[in-house]
Structure 1
Amino acid sequence: MVERVLYTVSGVLGVLSLMAMTLQGALSNRLVITAVIVIVASIVGIWLALRFAFWAAVWLLANSSLCALFLLSHLEQNHHAVQNYGFWALVIASWLLAWSSVTRFAEINTLSKSLKMSLSFLIPLIFGAWLLLLWEFITRGLEVPQVLLPAPSDIGDRFIHSMPTLWADFKQTFIKSVLTGYVMGCSAGFLVAIMIDRSPFLKRGLLPVGNLVAALPIVGIAPIMVMWFGFDWQSKAAVVVVMTFFPMLVNTVVGLSAASNIQLDLMKTYASGYWQALLKLRLPEALPFIFNALKINSTLALIGAIVAEFFGTPIVGMGFRISTEVGKMNVDMVWAEIAVAALAGSLFYAAIALIERMVTFWHPSMRTAKQ
């Protein structure tokens, strides 16, 4: 029902765009072709949706992509799209077609396992691509000043032409600061959690202190670490250690108590000692909690390292580049650095999530997620 409404609205917007362009005297070949595509796609989409859900989604996706290409081509030739109401009607209509295709893909359940997996990647890809397209249409069509918000095409151009600088910043921030601090902080948090589990005294005394330190702001820790460890990557790694230590500590302590009393009693009937019960029962039960901390820390580590670089660093690094380029009004370079950071953080998180699925495939939470 919702899809039919979207098809109808798209077709109506296609007709209204032709009327608006005619009244404004702003007809162009590309926009007329786009309007025709929208109208035909909507009519055929309604017919296909009643019989072939999958091919209806493919049809809508293909036509929305074609409309986007024509609209981008129109922007290249006519930079002033602010007053062209037909153009904006077609942008909305094309977006609704893409929305309809995503909705259709998400509701299909009669596909093979491999095709379902492909769709699980395709759906967020379509969604993300259209977010970028809408961003492009708005910034260029409304002539938004680049200082306020550059278009994705400008950011991409800066990204391509600044690869050596971006790579140097990535190495300084992510490879040196983030990875080093991440490994040290998570390892230390895990080992201290084992000690706390072994000693009730530490559990009562250290956890409250840990919660207090975890609440300290980054902007307060970073200058102190720079004073202690210098201006190079070591001070940023120290900030990352502080930020990743306590999430790992708390999650591991909670995870080690996840085993049920029946399971613990069963281990005792086999005369198992503390370390045997820890390695064969309690640590496996704690793995989901440990991986949860690893995933949380994957984003915290990158944020901490970038923020720490605002408080003193060599002339390289993501945080340094962002702070200096903002002062120069090179906002496209700032967004390029943000894109690198977002991509690195997302891939880092995805890698840990993939390892989690491989290691904890036996856990009920993983089996439920697969279903």
Structure 2
Amino acid sequence: MRFPNHSWQTWIVLPFAGLLAFLFASMNGVPSAPPPYGTLSGGVAIALVLISTLAANYTSNRLLEAVFLFAGAHGAAFFLLAGIKGHEGTAGPAYYLLLASAWLLAWRCVTILSGRRATARPMSIALRLIIPAIFGAWILIIWEAVTRGAGIPFILLPPPSAIGARIANSLPILGSDVRQTIFKAVLIGYVVGNLAGFVVAILADRVPFLRRGLLPIGNMVSALPIIGVAPIMVMWFGFDWPSKAAVVIIMTFFPMLVNTVAGLAASGHMERDLMRTYASGYWPTLLKLRLPAAMPFIFNALKINSTLALIGAIVAEFFGTPVVGMGFRISTEVGRMNIDMVWAEIAVAALAGSVFYGVVALIERAVTFWHPSVRGG
């Protein structure tokens, strides 16, 4: 048989899958055989890896090859995890060899999709979404397979399925924590901190002595440890969300200040000279030239602050809060050894932070469409 494709991932998987198929057939009926032997799911997973690898190597169509690899990798992972149910902690070397084989197929699938250059915009958007989705899915698959196959104690590292079940069963609690931490402390502190940093940056640009005095102080304040600032804010503003919003304001103010001041100096001398020839004053030049040129710097600060704000609010809740909030829940459930609830809060915080960052990035693409980084994307 002649194979048109010669990827190293599939050539490694072929002998692995053949060996697994041989061992599965030879150990069929052996009592107490470790997974994936002795289960129908294990046999299906091995067959999917072998068939998809042969089909992917034989086809000359790259997109069809990626489809075969995607189906084989994720189908094998599904049946592998289904077969380990009820046999946690008993997995043998063949289990991890099968997991590695499926992962190599997914790796090859992502490599093929990454090399495609779609001309149609919907296809380009789909590729940008599919590739990180596959990558993220395999982080969860490997996490689930290893924790269940090795029988890792639940208190050390629960599997993603347990975390997902905890999220589904604790939606009212998680919802109240999100409202307290994100919709009150994070959003209010984020808006006030960024707006204040932007206004002060305009003043510092207008008044030279402020620029020389504020920037060194800003660098110093940005280096202050949050675990030292948070208790002070709690003493000043109380245990409710205003003290957490104050921490967020401190954390977001100076990144916006420093980036905006740097961005206002980004316009070239030729452009400024051209504005002077038009007899343009400070404010028209600021609005029509310098502020648009500073937008990449401003959005860089907004993206950095979108993560800093969430971290600051959660950490601040460790130092005093009402009986609600993501930081409060994490610190309390750790003491109760409810580790699945801790991971559920972490997962919700990560999802909220990713959505927050993504919204800012989308607005940035719409506002700075003229910038080379956006045009080239």
| Range class of TM-score, shorter chain | over 0.9
Structure 2 residues not aligned, in runs of 5+: none
What corresponds to 1:54 in structure 2? 63
What corresponds to 2:227 in structure 1? 219
Contact 1:182 1:298 in 2 (8 A): yes
Aligned length: 366
Cα distance 1:264–1:2, how it changes in 2: closer, same or farther (>3 A)? farther
Contact 1:68 1:94 in 2 (8 A): yes
Structure 1 counterpart SS, 2:163: helix
User: Offset at 1:18?
Assistant: 3.2
Which amino acid is 2:47 matched to? Answer: V
Range moving further from structure 2, 283-292 or 114-123: 114-123
Cα distance 1:261–1:284, how it changes in 2: closer, same or farther (>3 A)? same
Structure 2 counterpart SS, 1:78: coil
User: Offset at 1:23?
Assistant: 5.5
Say yes or no: does 1:78 pair with 2:87: yes
1:172 to 176, 180, 186: 180
Say yes or no: does 1:95 pair with 2:82: no
Contact 2:5 2:58 in 1 (8 A): no
1:299 to 300, 307, 317: 307
Which amino acid is 1:47 matched to? Answer: Y
Say yes or no: does 1:108 pair with 2:116: yes
Say yes or no: does 1:16 pair with 2:15: no
Cα distance 1:43–1:190, how it changes in 2: closer, same or farther (>3 A)? same
Say yes or no: does 1:122 pair with 2:124: no
Question: CA offsets, 1:23-44, max 9 Å, x none?
Answer: 6942322212221221121111
Contact 1:18 1:86 in 2 (8 A): no
Cα distance 1:349–1:3, how it changes in 2: closer, same or farther (>3 A)? farther
User: Offset at 1:78?
Assistant: 2.8
Contact 1:17 1:85 in 2 (8 A): no
| Mapping 1:335-346, distance limit 5 Å | 335-346=343-354
| Mapping 1:141-180, distance limit 5 Å | 141-180=149-188
User: Offset at 1:14?
Assistant: 1.2
Question: CA offsets, 1:281-333, max 9 Å, x none?
Answer: 10000011000000000000000000000000000000000000000110000
What corresponds to 1:289 in structure 2? 297
User: Offset at 1:3?
Assistant: 6.0
Contact 1:11 1:39 in 2 (8 A): yes
CA distance in 1, matches of 2:97, 2:290: 59
Say yes or no: does 1:33 pair with 2:41: no
Write 1 or 2 for the structure with the bigger share of helix.
Answer: 1
Cα distance 1:111–1:203, how it changes in 2: closer, same or farther (>3 A)? closer
| Mapping 1:205-284, distance limit 5 Å | 205-284=213-292
Cα distance 1:2–1:195, how it changes in 2: closer, same or farther (>3 A)? farther
Say yes or no: does 1:63 pair with 2:72: yes
Question: CA offsets, 1:193-225, max 9 Å, x none?
Answer: 000000011111111111111111000100000
CA distance in 1, matches of 2:21, 2:88: 19
Question: CA offsets, 1:254-294, max 9 Å, x none?
Answer: 00001111000100000011001001110000011000000
Percent identity over the alignment?
A: 55
Which amino acid is 1:244 matched to? Answer: T
Contact 2:52 2:71 in 1 (8 A): no
CA distance in 1, matches of 2:130, 2:366: 23
Question: CA offsets, 1:126-156, max 9 Å, x none?
Answer: 1111110100000000000011000000000
What corresponds to 1:332 in structure 2? 340
2:200 to 175, 192, 195: 192
Range moving further from structure 2, 217-226 or 111-120: 111-120
CA distance in 1, matches of 2:134, 2:311: 27
Which amino acid is 2:88 matched to? Answer: H
CA distance in 2, matches of 1:187, 1:260: 26
CA distance in 2, matches of 1:77, 1:322: 30
Contact 1:20 1:85 in 2 (8 A): no
User: Offset at 1:90?
Assistant: 1.1
Contact 2:5 2:57 in 1 (8 A): no
Structure 2 counterpart SS, 1:196: helix
Which amino acid is 1:174 matched to? Answer: I
Range moving further from structure 2, 358-367 or 213-222: 358-367
Contact 1:16 1:89 in 2 (8 A): no
Range moving further from structure 2, 203-212 or 121-130: 203-212
| Mapping 1:305-320, distance limit 5 Å | 305-320=313-328
CA distance in 2, matches of 1:363, 1:96: 37
CA distance in 2, matches of 1:60, 1:67: 10
Structure 1 residues not aligned, in runs of 5+: none
Task: List structure 1 runs of 4+ shifted beyond 6 angstroms.
Answer: none
User: Offset at 1:105?
Assistant: 0.9
Question: CA offsets, 1:34-82, max 9 Å, x none?
Answer: 212211211111111xx10011001110111111111111012433433
